[in-house]
């Protein structure tokens, strides 16, 4: 991936709120080795051809998942959040919509599943923002960020990478 528009390694392609930028800087400075392993993996893998599945990068501190799927209708998706991991999400191929909202505005739909590190939430539409995501943009979600990935933007399939970094 040498095309600048499609290079997830370019910082200008990252989406984060100003609070998240500060949180990223703080987390990175305290966990540089962990983040550097994630970035090294990203720099050395061909995101177009890597097979779907889970990839251990640094034990349970850093791992990646590659998935291919057809996004769902908005009504068939839910906001989610994590407690132990930061999500870095990158659409490699295709287009989807991702909803973003402050977790503090959420009402629990299901109990938090500690083993899977996921909880599902309902959030008032007034507190939500939706983004059409194509290759070239990276979203980073901290535990305070609720996110609603995998929303259909068109009829195509999506290839997506999610890197998990332990807090």
Range 146-157 average pLDDT? 94
Domain residue ranges in the chain: 4-166
Residue 113 has pLDDT above 90, yes or no: yes
Residue 2 has pLDDT above 50, yes or no: no
Cα dihedral 51, 16, 110, 112 sign: positive
Closest by CA position to 163, among listed 15, 18, 13, 39: 39
Sign of the four-CA dihedral 11, 15, 18, 24: negative
Asked if 72 and 151 count as a contact pair (C-beta separation under 8 A), the reply is yes
Average pLDDT of the residues in 115-139: 93
User: 6 falls in which pLDDT band (50, 70, 90)?
Assistant: very low
> What is the pTM for the complete model shown?
0.86
Q: What are the tens digits of pLDDT across the range 58-85?
A: 999 999 999 999 999 999 999 999 999 9
The tens digit of pLDDT for each residue in 19-40 reads 567 788 888 888 999 999 998 8
CATH entry 2.60.120.370 includes domain 4-166: yes
């Amino acid at each position: 991936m040498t095309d600048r528009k499609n290079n997830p390694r370019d910082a200008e392609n990252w989406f984060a709120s100003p609070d998240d930028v500060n949180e990223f800087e703080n987390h990175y400075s305290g966990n540089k080795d962990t983040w550097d392993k994630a970035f090294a993996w990203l720099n050395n893998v061909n995101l177009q051809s890597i097979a779907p599945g889970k990839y251990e990068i640094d034990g349970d501190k850093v791992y990646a998942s590659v998935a291919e799927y057809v996004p769902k209708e908005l009504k068939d998706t839910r906001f989610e959040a994590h407690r132990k991991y930061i999500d870095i999400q990158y659409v490699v191929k295709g287009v989807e919509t991702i909803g973003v909202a402050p977790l503090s505005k959420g009402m629990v739909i299901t109990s938090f599943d500690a083993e899977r590190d996921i909880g599902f939430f309902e959030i008032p539409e007034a507190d939500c923002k939706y983004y059409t995501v194509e290759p070239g943009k990276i979203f980073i979600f901290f535990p305070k960020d609720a996110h609603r990935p995998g929303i259909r933007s068109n009829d195509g399939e999506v290839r997506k990478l999610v890197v998990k970094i332990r807090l």
